[in-house]
Amino acid sequence: MWALFFGALIIISITHWVHRWRNPRCNGTLPPGSMGLPLIGETLQFFAPNSSFDIPPFVKERMKRYGPIFRTNLVGRPVVVSTDPDLNYFIFQQEGQLFQSWYPDTFTEIFGRQNVGSLHGFMYKYLKNMVLNLFGPESLKKMLPEVEQTTSKRLQLWSHQETVELKETTATMIFDLTAKKLISYDQDNSSENLRDNFVAFIHGLISFPLDIPGTAYHECLRGRKKAMRMLKNQLQERRANPRKNRSDFFDYVLEELQEDRGILTEEIALDLMFVLLFASFETTSLALTLAVKFLSDNPLVLKKLTEEHEGILRNRVDSNSGLTWNEYKSMKFTFQVINETVRLANIVPGIFRKALRDIQFKGYTIPEGWAVMVCPPAVHLSPEKYEDPHAFNPWRWEGLELNGASKKFMAFGGGMRFCVGTEFTKVQMAVFLHCLVTKFR
> Residues 228-268: pLDDT tens digits?
888 888 888 888 777 777 777 888 888 887 776 667 888 88
Give 3's Cβ-side CA count (13 Å radius). Answer: 0
> Is 60 exceeded by the pLDDT of residue 2?
no
Give the pLDDT confidence score for residue 19 in this predicted structure.
47
pLDDT mean over 288-317 = 94
Between CA 203 and CA 216 the distance in angstroms is: 6
> Is 80 exceeded by the pLDDT of residue 194?
no
Between CA 215 and CA 208 the distance in angstroms is: 9
Q: Predicted confidence band at 7 (pLDDT cuts at 50, 70, 90)?
A: low
Give the pLDDT confidence score for residue 147 in this predicted structure.
93
Between CA 143 and CA 225 the distance in angstroms is: 30
Q: Predicted confidence band at 305 (pLDDT cuts at 50, 70, 90)?
A: very high
> Is 80 exceeded by the pLDDT of residue 112?
no
Give the pLDDT confidence score for residue 422 in this predicted structure.
84
pLDDT mean over 411-427 = 80
For 208-354, where are the alpha helices, taking DSSP H only? 216-240, 249-259, 266-297, 299-314, 325-329, 332-345
For 330-421, where are the alpha helices, taking DSSP H only? 332-345, 376-380
Q: Predicted confidence band at 3 (pLDDT cuts at 50, 70, 90)?
A: low
Are the beta carbons of 402 and 409 closer than 8 angstroms? yes
The lowest-confidence range among 84-88, 117-121, 308-312, 352-356 is 117-121
> Is 70 exceeded by the pLDDT of residue 404?
no
pLDDT mean over 272-279 = 82
Between CA 332 and CA 321 the distance in angstroms is: 21
pLDDT mean over 291-299 = 95
Give the pLDDT confidence score for residue 86 in this predicted structure.
93
Give the pLDDT confidence score for residue 135 in this predicted structure.
81
Tell me which residue of 344, 292, 277, 353 sits closest to 91, measured CA to CA. Answer: 353
369 in the Ramachandran plot: left (φ > 0), alpha (ψ -120 to 50) or beta?
A: left
Are the beta carbons of 102 and 371 closer than 8 angstroms? yes
Give 41's DSSP letter. B
419 annotated as a binding-site residue: yes
Give the pLDDT confidence score for residue 260 in this predicted structure.
65
Maximum distance among all Cα pairs of the chain, rounded to whole angstroms: 99
pLDDT tens digits, one per residue of 177-187: 888 888 887 76
Give the pLDDT confidence score for residue 195 in this predicted structure.
75
How do 351-355 and 371-374 pair as beta strands?
A: antiparallel
Give the pLDDT confidence score for residue 209 in this predicted structure.
73
> Is 80 exceeded by the pLDDT of residue 28?
yes
Between CA 280 and CA 425 the distance in angstroms is: 7
pLDDT tens digits, one per residue of 367-397: 999 999 999 999 999 999 999 999 999 999 9
Q: Domains, the chain, ranges and CATH?
A: 52-63+78-439 (1.10.630.10)
> Is 70 exceeded by the pLDDT of residue 365?
yes
Between CA 344 and CA 328 the distance in angstroms is: 23
pLDDT tens digits, one per residue of 69-96: 999 998 888 999 999 999 999 998 898 8
Are the beta carbons of 389 and 381 closer than 8 angstroms? yes
Are the beta carbons of 147 and 177 closer than 8 angstroms? yes
Give the pLDDT confidence score for residue 16 in this predicted structure.
44
Instruction: Name which residue leads in pLDDT, 363 or 243.
Output: 363
Give the pLDDT confidence score for residue 98 in this predicted structure.
94
Give the pLDDT confidence score for residue 232 in this predicted structure.
87
Packed helices 216-240 and 266-297: angle between N→C axes, nearest 10 degrees: 120
Mean per-residue pLDDT over the chain, rounded: 84
Distances (CA, A) of 228 to 47, 188, 204, 251, 272: 26, 20, 16, 17, 11
**To the nearest whole percent, how much of the chain has pLDDT over 70?**
88
Between CA 363 and CA 86 the distance in angstroms is: 13
Between CA 130 and CA 171 the distance in angstroms is: 24
> Is 70 exceeded by the pLDDT of residue 427?
yes
Give the pLDDT confidence score for residue 107 in this predicted structure.
75
